[in-house]
Amino acid sequence: MYGLDINFLNDRPEYKNKKDIPKPASSGPSLEDPKPILIGAAAAVAVNGLVAGGWLYLNQVNTKLQADLDKLNGELSKLDAQVKNLEAIKEKTKTFKAEAKALATVFDQIKPWSALLGEFGSLVPSGVIITSIEQKEPKVSAPVPSKKSAKKGEKTETPAPSKPTATLSFAGTSDSYGQINDFLLLLQSSPFFQGEKTKLITAAKKPNPTRLELRESNSTLAPEIPELPPIVEYKIETNLSPLGASELLPQLKSKGAIGLVDRIETLTKKGVF
């Protein structure tokens, strides 16, 4: 027997309309055309080449920069060593300057007794005798700390007091009060002493301790021995001048302190003073 297959779909109107719709033309590349593939491969190769070339260039630049950095680090190490040497030299220079300043200060504070005795010899009036001289060194006081202002809270430096100097006491005798007064005025005007601190401590008349004696004679008459006039015992106190030896060079020269003057002049030429 024969089977009869009848397709009734073709007779339906909606199916006929679907069959009549044209198929869209494909716009994509065809596998049969190799040009797009070759172009893409060439572009990929070019991009990879550019990346590789850039990497090689950057690697070369980095190598050169590293070499320059190593060179600069080496030079910096040398400079650091030189800076340390300079710092050491500066510290030694500071030490030498401090030592020279301390030595100069010692010399500048010296007032040799040869010059002081020469000054006494030129100041002591006729009729005045110095029987004793006593020197007392000053007491060293602690430095005064800086004070703070109560209003602004700022530090105000306290003015440094004048440096204390040694105190000298003169004791002796004189024929009159007027001679002692003259001696006091001459001491006050001397650059070796402080005029405002030169003062008369005591002055009093005393019997003259000197006794006259007569030589032996054949005369039976005993002449009267005259009594000497009374004397004035005094005590004067003063302080050495705060002026340094470098400020008293003319006076030191005139009093014969040549050794100290030469040292001061040498230190002045070297720039210490």
Residues of the chain with pLDDT under 50: 1, 146, 148-150, 157, 159
Query: Based on the number of CB atoms within 10 Å of its own CB, is 117 exposed (0-12), middle (13-18) or buried (19 or more)?
Result: middle
Q: If we measure between CA atoms, which residue out of 207, 216, 211, 215 comes closest to residue 226?
A: 211
Strand, coil or helix: what is 119? helix
Beta-carbon count within 10 A of 124 CB: 19
Structure tokens given for 113 = 């007794």
Say if residues 133 and 124 touch (Cβ distance below 8 Å): no
Q: How far apart are CA 234 and CA 177, in angstroms?
A: 9
Spell out the alpha helix ranges (H) of 128-215: 177-189
- Partnered with residue 238 across adjacent β-strands are 168
101's CB contacts (< 8 A; 6+ apart) are 272
Q: How far apart are CA 190 and CA 252, in angstroms?
A: 12
Name the residue type at position 3.
Answer: G
Strand, coil or helix: what is 132? strand
Strand, coil or helix: what is 159? coil
Does domain 111-136+165-208+228-273 sit in CATH 3.30.1360.100?
A: yes
Q: How far apart are CA 201 and CA 130, in angstroms?
A: 15
Q: How far apart are CA 160 and CA 146, in angstroms?
A: 10
Owner of token pair 């005993």: 222
φ, ψ of residue 180 to 5 degrees: the values are: -65, -40
pTM: 0.57
Spell out the alpha helix ranges (H) of the chain: 13-20, 35-109, 113-123, 177-189, 249-254, 258-269
